[in-house]
Structure 1
Amino acid sequence: MSQIKEGDIEYHYQKYRENVEVKPDSALLYLAKAKKLNQQLEDENWNARIAYGMGYTHYIKNDFRTAHDYFKQAIRYANVAQDFNVLSKAYNQIGQIYAVENDVKNALVNYHKSLKISEGKEELNDNTIAVLSNLADLYILQSDTLSARNYYHQAQKIGERDDERKHLDIVYNNLAVSYMKTNKDSTEFYLNKSLQIQKENHSIYGQIMSQLNLVSTYLNFKSKDDYQKSFEYLEESLKLSKAIGNLEAEFFSYFYFGKYYEQAESNLQQALFYYNQANEVLRKGFKNDYAIELYKSLSRVHSKLGNYKEAYGFEKTQHKLQDSIFSVEKNKQFHEAQTKFDVERKNNQIQLLNKEKQIQKGQNQLIFTGSFLAIISLLILAIFYRKRMKYQETISVQEKLIFEKEIETTRTKNLLEGQNLERKRIATELHDGVGGRLSAIKIKMDQLNTTSIKDPELEECINQLQETAKEIRVISHELNENNRDKINFVHLLLQLVKDYRFYFTGEIHLNIFPESKFQEIDGVAKHYLYRTIQEILSNCLKYAEAENINIDCTFDTMYRIIVDDDGKGFDVEKVKKGMGISNLYKRVQSLNGSLFIDSAIGRGSTFIIEIPQDGKGNS
């Protein structure tokens, strides 16, 4: 009897999924029937899935308050049933609702709850991709396209690695939006990839939004050769949006039709007609931040037509709405919350690495214990005869180890001091010797290139010579430790990142939290940590072929610095034997700290440095 009922529930649930995008009211009816059947079955998994379906359908209908209540119900049921799929998706959708309502702080809280559940679980990769894309969307609203692209590329990497093609359409679409103001070719490339997937998946809503984004791209870059294609996309998108009854798609279809007639055809009356149609959609209850752009367009067209009273009215509405949406406080809340969640996410990764090390340690101890028990019976016979001898031998070994450790410490200290002396010598030679000669040559060439000669090629040579002299001075200051003694650790890191950005073609992201704690680092610790991070960055630029480097500096009970990149990675065991890696370990260990290196071919690299708060350099 229960199997028949469950089969009936499955049937109605599948009918809901078929209708939710195109006939949301029909989808609600199918869910209501499934819910009634499940009242007899009392299956918590079905309760969670049906409640989520109710929430998602109301979300499609733009009834966000009702959707929010159903998603909360779904979370309660999913917690009981341990249904992580529904749980992660419900938190993500609640984040979407807060994002639409411009409550970025609560949006971030729910996105990160969702990400915490799904990240690392392959069966939930579709949700991880969606959440990373939604986080990127929030950065787009903050006009931080670099951070947004970082999240989009994380989502793209997961989707392409695990062949989650059907979930990549939104990622490609949003990546395209991040390039929309700067690069037509990149925008068009990603939008066409997104459109192809949406047509394969019969995602009408997604198809509409990608087509409209292509129209926006052609208009933004004034691509006249693509205007006819734009008109065809607009006609098809408006027709499809009315067919599925989606207010958002209908709003954007009218809005971009207005932009098309204003810009491509210079037909202000037709532009005004379509802008007014978009405004009517807003009056039906649809809410979107793009209302600001619509009011701005209505004000502009009315002004061009001489309707100054109407133009002023729409401009006033635009500014009022803009003030309510954007504020310094909301921007501050966004960045404070995001910094907190980024730190938490990195700490979770560290805990995972520590657990793996503990498991490995436990396995080694188990092997050791087994071996010990196997030979204990033999050792017990000999131990009474060799007790005194062993005691003397143990003392000798301990003294030898202590002596060797003292020698190694002295050797490390002398090596580092020698390196510093050599750096100072080279810095002096570069500044006073090579730098002085270059300056003298430049002065002589200036004298030769008099107003009567003025050779352009000679002028270019003089300029290049001057730039070379500047670089020599920078390298000289970089090698000389005296300059760094006067600068606190935070400013040293900021300057280091700034210098390396000049040579790096990708992006370097630096997060320090809290800054006040890192400003306290001084003396030997400041020097060793700076050199360690500098060496890691230098190796990354030389060998990693990375697009992004992230440096996260955090403090809880100890200083923790994480440097990771998305480059080609390396074999840790092979590279450990090299002098560069050996120096990294020596510097960190001299501060009573520890260095973890996690890397593999094709998977990027992560360096984790942990230094105790009271760590003193052994020197």
Structure 2
Amino acid sequence: MKFILKYFKIIIFFIVTVNVSVAQNDNSLKRIDSVKTILKTLKPSDSLNIAKQNYVVGEYYRKLLNTDSAYVYFQKAEKVFKQYNLKYETAITMFGIAVCQTYDKDYTGSETTSFQALALLESLNPINKVRQYKAYIYNNLGILFGELEQFDEAIKYHNIGLDLKKGLKGDYVRSIGLSENNLANIYITLGDYDTAIKQYETILANKELLDRYPGVKVLAMGNYAQALDLANKHDRLPGLYLKAIKLSDSINDTYDAIVIHQRLAEFYHKKGIIDSAKYYAYKAKNLSEFYNNDDMLKSLLLVSKIEHGEISRKYLLEYIALSDSLYKSEREKRDKFARIKFETEAIEKENIEKEKVVRFLFSLSVIILIIAVLIYLFLKQREKNKVLQFKQSQQESNEEIYNLMLTQNLNIEEARAQEKRRISQELHDGILGRLFGTRLSLDSLNFNTGDEAVQTRSQYISELKNIEEDIRKVSHELNTDFVSGGGFKDIIHNLIESKSAIYNLKYTFNHYTEINWDNVSNKTKIHIYRIIQESLHNIYKHANATQVNISFNLKKDVICITMEDDGAGFDVSKVKSGIGLKNIKSRILEINGTITINSKKNKGTSVTLEAPLIS
């Protein structure tokens, strides 16, 4: 009676499971039909949009585990994405293909496709969606290397994928939980049950994960129970298995329930509880018929081990037949994908040839453009040279005029000096001599003894002495050339005053030490004049200043000129010398001088010129 009730439960569960699975598949198929309808409305010229819709259909088929159809649509999308050089779209399509290859046990092909997709993603900016798919690809690599029993590689890639997922922005709680579960499964396969148990306990302690995604809890609980079983820690068994099955029933998670039923059957079989072992083994077999063929294989082999006699033989033969069929199917799929890959590579070669032509045309265009630019620059430079030559000739003319002006000014100053010396001589030799004679005559009257006469003569004599002293003082001052060299200072002052007025600048002009400009060559004075003129122009043009301070000083026969402004300033180490600054440096070298420029942004500029008094 108990046996009949158990099998009655299996039939009821089987009916419910089939209905849920059919409903889920119907929903996905409706979505596929909807996208296919959209594809029919698109024009052939809209190849990029068609490729995107093909990718969507491929994803739906992949999630339905229909890898044949997924391959077809992914391959169509991949061709177009590569033609348009859309690296991200190509990479995620290749990820879909790699997952299908892993499902079909084409692990070598999946490895190659995964690394090709990773190479494309590595060439892109590491934005969130790029890192997301890198994490998915590393997870796939972890799974396939686990199937290839290269467990160190599997652990490495699972950990890389986990680290990437933990750094993503968004809700990846479920994805992280699944990756942690996959990593723990590797430790079970390695026989490191303690590490696996700790990993599962960490997952099951994540309340947010389990509350939001009970499907992950089913998976983790079933695997945790298996790790305890293999570690011979049976205190919580079969309770954990039964809880996992109950939870999977409550959320209609029949796919994960297959493995839990298989493991529970194996648990009861080891314990010698054959009825329970058969119950859960048959339950797993019935569920497997609607899902993964690998699970069906495992279920058939499990039933053949638990059953006896003809029944065991029957299921073993079914297992062998299905295994052969699956091997043949997997080989055909690998061959089919190899053909698809060959066609894709042929298209890639064609695209490479097209790219070569495009590159050649582009290179030719660049060369032509460079030649055109060089010709333009040559003509432009020739025009600039003409302008510079004109400016140079104009400057030479200006210097000649200025030289004449200085010479004329010196002649005037010389004439003034001569006139002053003439007046001085006239005062000294003429008026002073006559006054001296008058004084002597008055002295001779001193012999008149009248009191009144004596007093009067004394007053006149005293007055004459005063006049004599005044005239002597005037004569001395006139004989001193007090305007000697002052003409050039006045010229500089006039220059600063006129330019400051034009440039709307306030200025100060200080001549701290009197310099005998007569001892300075005209060449030096011309260059100093032009340097100050150019500096004022640069201050107006570049500094945006309101105040300029100019000072002259003489230190050990070296003329020191300082020009300071309160303008914007600049970084001396980075700014290239313009024509104005080059002219200033050239002029200062002409008179064996030096120039020092100190400037800071927003703190003004100070220019110090030093030139020898006699160059």
Q: Is TM > 0.5 for Structure 1 vs Structure 2?
A: no
For the superposition of Structure 1 and Structure 2, which TM-score range results when normalised by the shorter chain? 0.3 to 0.5
Higher Rg of the two aligned structures:
2
TM-score (norm 2): 0.43
TM-score w.r.t. length of structure 1: 0.42
